[in-house]
């Protein structure tokens, strides 16, 4: 069994990623920790509980992390995911926040990894605030992790929020910098450009949502707003290639839970730009060893889309 901690800012794509992990028979989710990002922290917590409820997995513990970046201004993706993060689709029977654990996310990450040394895969699909503060509180944390998977950053300076900034890294650049400096365990990154180049046809999305299950009905409802947004000309101009269904966060989860899904990757040292007027939050790839960093991360390049499609289909069964 792969033991996962999911660190999320639950919007629609996080919901898709969480449901993919929940459906995998070889995965045990030890905890879900929430942060700011797509939507304010309180919404992220509510949304995570909504996803767990529809999947009949409210037994999984949910922890509140931090509600703002280490420095700078808080941003959100309300226009993209809906103000509540899940398409502004009301749910009168949504679980209450009394189900959230009293322990905070940082304490939970530290404690769970101490209980499972060398066994935990940490998957981040939101801003990296919780992870940065965890390693500041416990510098030995990375040595206890099996590995870490991150959805975020960019590899060709293509931004989706600013000219050169990808949302998750731009939402807390200092946290992204700390994580890429301090987490020296095996690290895999699913970048913005990677997700674009491995997007799926909209015809698949139609088939995916047409499954006659409560999970599929839930996804169709919460995804309606985002789908309308991503099919606009403006959004398609942001995508690196093609006109397709791009479930960003699910790529990192797929790589974490299925060893057969990644077909091509490369190892390279990286850092994050913190000061540039146009490039703050941009991930920098060092192909000439100018940074003199021993630790190199695994940058995803190409995915087996048939395996990925099956993981998505399973998520809504």
Range list of β-strands (E), 211-311 = 262-272, 283-286, 297-303
* 298: CB partners within 8 A, 6+ apart: 186, 187, 188, 189, 265, 266, 267
Predicted pLDDT of residue 72: 81
Nearest Cα to Cα of residue 120 among 149, 146, 148: 146
**If 0-12 CB within 10 Å is exposed, 13-18 middle and 19+ buried, where does residue 283 land?**
buried
pLDDT per 10-residue tile (average), the chain, 317 residues: 97 97 98 97 97 98 97 85 92 94 98 98 98 98 98 94 95 98 98 94 96 98 90 65 84 97 98 95 97 97 98 98
- Answer yes or no: are the C-beta atoms of 184 and 142 closer than 8 Å: yes
Predicted pLDDT of residue 229: 81
Domain boundaries, the chain: 2-315
First vs last C-alpha separation in the chain: 21
Predicted pLDDT of residue 237: 61
Q: What residues form DSSP beta bridges with 298? A: 188, 267
Predicted pLDDT of residue 17: 98
Structure tokens at 170: 């731009």
Catalytic residue check, 206: no
Predicted pLDDT of residue 216: 98
Q: Please say whether the dihedral angle defined by the alpha carbons of residues 120, 126, 127 and 129, taken in this order, is positive or negative.
A: negative
- From CA 270, how far away is CA 48, in angstroms rounded? 31
- From CA 168, how far away is CA 151, in angstroms rounded? 8
CATH 3.40.50.300 fits 2-315, yes or no: no
- DSSP β-ladder status, 27-34 and 62-64: parallel
Among 9, 138, 172, 249, the active-site one is: 9
Please provide the DSSP assignment of 118-142 as one string: TTEEEEE-S-SHHHHHHHHH-TTHH
Predicted pLDDT of residue 230: 81
DSSP H helices, 231-267, are: 233-238, 248-257
Q: Name the pTM for this structure.
A: 0.96
- DSSP β-ladder status, 262-272 and 283-286: antiparallel
DSSP state of 304: -
């Amino acid at each position: 069994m792969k033991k996962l901690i999911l660190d999320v800012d639950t919007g629609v794509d996080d919901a898709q990623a969480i449901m993919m992990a929940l459906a995998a028979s070889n995965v045990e989710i030890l905890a879900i920790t929430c942060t700011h990002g797509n939507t304010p922290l309180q919404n992220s917590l509510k949304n995570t509980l909504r996803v767990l409820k529809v999947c009949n997995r409210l037994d999984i513990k949910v922890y509140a992390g931090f509600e703002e970046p280490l420095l700078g201004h808080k941003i959100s993706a309300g226009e993209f995911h809906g103000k509540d993060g899940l398409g502004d689709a009301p749910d009168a029977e949504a679980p209450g926040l009394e189900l959230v654990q009293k322990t905070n996310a940082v304490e939970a990450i530290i404690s769970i990894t101490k209980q499972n040394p060398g066994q935990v895969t940490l998957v981040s699909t939101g801003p990296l605030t919780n992870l940065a503060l965890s390693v500041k509180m416990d510098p030995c944390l990375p040595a206890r992790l099996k590995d870490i998977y991150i959805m975020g950053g960019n590899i060709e300076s293509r931004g989706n929020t600013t000219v050169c900034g990808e949302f998750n890294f731009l939402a807390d650049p200092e946290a992204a910098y700390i994580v890429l400096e301090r987490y020296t365990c095996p690290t895999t990154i699913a970048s913005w450009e990677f997700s674009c180049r491995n997007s799926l046809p909209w015809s698949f999305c139609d088939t995916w949502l047409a499954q006659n299950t409560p999970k599929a009905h839930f996804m169709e409802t919460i995804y309606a707003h985002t789908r309308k947004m991503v099919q606009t000309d403006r959004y398609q101009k942001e995508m690196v290639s093609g006109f397709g269904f791009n479930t960003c966060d699910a790529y990192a989860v797929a790589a974490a839970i299925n060893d057969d899904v990644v077909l091509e990757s490369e190892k390279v040292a990286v850092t994050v730009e913190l000061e540039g007027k146009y490039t703050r939050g941009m991930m920098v790839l060092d192909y000439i060893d100018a940074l003199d960093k021993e630790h190199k991360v695994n940058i995803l390049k190409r995915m087996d889309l048939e395996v990925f499609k099956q993981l998505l289909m399973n998520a809504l069964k």
